[in-house]
Amino acid sequence: MNALQGKVVIVTGASSGIGQAMARCLAQEGAAVVAGARRRAELDALVAEIAAAGGHAVALAGDVREEAYAQALVQLAQARFGGLDAAINNAGSLGALGPLPALAVDEWQATLHTNLTSAFLGAKHQILALLARGGGALLFTSSFVGHSVGMPGMAAYAASKAGMVGLAQSLAAEFGPQGIRVNALLPGGTDTGAGRTFADTPEKLDFVRGLHALRRIADPLQIARAAVFLVSDAASFVTGSAMLVDGGVSICRS
């Protein structure tokens, strides 16, 4: 039997990159997927692809920074599939990069709002639906940046992603007795549009690869498989963790 057969899972940031790979993997493992992102055309194409492969998915376009959207995704899961068993709050942005003294307050706030506040808004409504189901799993896509590695020029991004780890740990302690597991997933360098924005030349890409013990970056599918594990019953005793799926970047010193 597939690892998520009969489960209903929300995944945000599903129109591309890691989120899109997560949605595909979730569907392949039997989950009914509620896919969220801003770009409607990409979401519609993803839903059609999952349906063509025999899976079940529905999409809702919107802005994760808005509480009404977080609530609407949960309501869609309940209306179309009868409830919610897990949610992956994956949407995010690199935000403004550069030296901290040059960072404007609105740039700082925009990055935290997109990455951290959106995770709070998602969890706020997802938890209620999980409790109604008798428990479930929450997952936040964080980063090794701000957790095990400091990167110059990424203060806002690092702070927002580190905040997600703290959020996951607090929620894990608060709702564990009620059957909800909460974890953070910390990918390393991954071949996505956002990653290519950061490593936008062959020289920069070689540098990023060299940071990893494996001397390569991840395919989004490799990160997605780790996410499937964390929201599945295979991880039934895993909560409050910051799980590194980083190709060894956190331990590499050569």
First-residue to last-residue Cα distance in the chain: 42
pLDDT of 194: 73
The C-alpha atoms of residue 78 and residue 86 are separated, in whole angstroms, by 12
Are 186 and 245 spatial neighbours (Cβ–Cβ below 8 Å)? yes
pLDDT of 198: 67
pTM above 0.75, yes or no: yes
* Range list of H helices, 31-183: 40-52, 67-81, 105-112, 118-133, 155-175
Are 252 and 194 spatial neighbours (Cβ–Cβ below 8 Å)? no
Q: What is the DSSP letter of 249?
A: T
Please report whether residue 50 resides in a domain. yes
Decide if 157 is catalytic: yes
* Partners of 58 in the β-ladder: 34
The C-alpha atoms of residue 148 and residue 241 are separated, in whole angstroms, by 14
Please report whether residue 101 resides in a domain. yes
Please report whether residue 44 resides in a domain. yes
Please report whether residue 100 resides in a domain. yes
**Which of 71, 87, 76 is CA-nearest to residue 125?**
71
Structure tokens at 99: 């030296």
Please report whether residue 212 resides in a domain. yes
CATH number at residue 188: 3.40.50.720
The three-class DSSP label of residue 195 is helix
- In the numeric block, the tokens 């991880």 are attached to 235
Q: Which amino acid is at 243?
A: M
Q: How many CB atoms lie within 10 A of CB 159?
A: 17
Please report whether residue 1 resides in a domain. no
Catalytic one of 157, 165, 167, 184: 157
Q: How many CB atoms lie within 10 A of CB 193?
A: 8
pLDDT of 50: 98
The C-alpha atoms of residue 171 and residue 153 are separated, in whole angstroms, by 30
Please report whether residue 115 resides in a domain. yes
pLDDT of 245: 94
> Count of domains in the chain?
1
Q: Which amino acid is at 14?
A: A
Structure tokens at 212: 């990893």
**Which of 218, 245, 240, 222 is CA-nearest to residue 148?**
245
Classify residue 118 by burial, with Cβ atoms within 10 Å: 0-12, 13-18, 19+: buried
Please report whether residue 153 resides in a domain. yes
Range of the domain at 127: 8-245
pLDDT along the chain (254 residues), means of 10: 92 96 97 97 98 98 98 98 98 93 96 98 98 98 91 93 98 98 93 72 81 87 97 98 94 81
- In the numeric block, the tokens 């590194």 are attached to 244
Q: Which amino acid is at 32?
A: A
Classify residue 67 by burial, with Cβ atoms within 10 Å: 0-12, 13-18, 19+: middle
